[in-house]
Amino acid sequence: MPIPSNYEKTSRMTAKEAAFTQLQQWIIDGTLQPGEKLNDVELAQALGVSRTPIRESLQLLEVQGFVKLFPGKATQVTEVEQEDINDLLPPLAALQALAAELAVPNMTPGVIDDLKKVNTEFAAAVRKEDYFNGLKIDETFHQIIVDTAANPYIITMTASLQAHVRRLFFHNSIILTEKSIEEHDQIINLLLEKDAKKAADVMRENWVRAIDEFHSIRK
């Protein structure tokens, strides 16, 4: 079980929070591969913590569907199933659309400027075909809107779904298109115009369209 030794440690977190965040990231980006068996002693040594926060983190990761615990036997990273996109994106699209709608009353010039800046970075990544970074930037764009909506339940639920989407995309060759850039621009303009309904509609389409694009690549 190869584990990086030069990872960036997160500050201002409890041992359990830091362990959970790092293990989840390693599972998402493939450092810990689907089907790989995990050793809590090795993980504890690698992260510089005791086995207790590792075990607690693995329990949380099992609840979220990232690992499977076999008591007395092993802990294993779950497999990545391409068809999961059909179950993941529709609820995430609905939550993101609701976030766009709720964000309208809280929208400020500063938030609009942040969205424009991030979408410019996203466009640059797409046009360079740097899809790995493009996915990260795309997530930042949507997270700004979710945070602006300021609903703790939406923040929690989207974070959970987004983590699975991120893992699915990282383990498959995803091609980002100009259409996503255009939809981001539309969303920004609609938020600026305070048209909550249309902003929600475009946001939902932005996510649901990814299902068809995902499957078309694999035909």
CA angle 106, 111, 115 (to 5 degrees): 130
- Do 142 and 114 touch, CB atoms closer than 8 A? no
Length of the chain: 219
- Do 108 and 144 touch, CB atoms closer than 8 A? no
CA distance 180 to 176: 7
User: What is the token pair recorded at 79?
Assistant: 């497999």
Q: Is the pTM higher than 0.95?
A: no
Domains of the chain: 15-77 (1.10.10.10), 82-217 (1.20.120.530)
Half-sphere exposure of 142 (CA within 13 A, CB side): 29
What is the structure's pLDDT at 33?
A: 93
**Closest CA relative to residue 65, chosen from 159, 160, 170:** 160
* pLDDT values of the chain reduced to their tens digit, one per residue, 219 residues: 555 655 555 556 788 999 999 999 999 988 999 999 999 999 999 999 999 999 999 999 999 999 999 887 889 999 998 888 889 999 999 999 999 999 999 999 999 999 999 999 999 999 999 988 999 999 999 999 999 999 999 999 999 999 999 898 888 767 788 999 999 999 999 999 999 999 999 999 999 988 877 766 655
Bridge partner residues of 75 (DSSP): 38, 69
What is the structure's pLDDT at 13?
A: 74
Name the strand (E) or helix (H) holding 149: helix 131-149
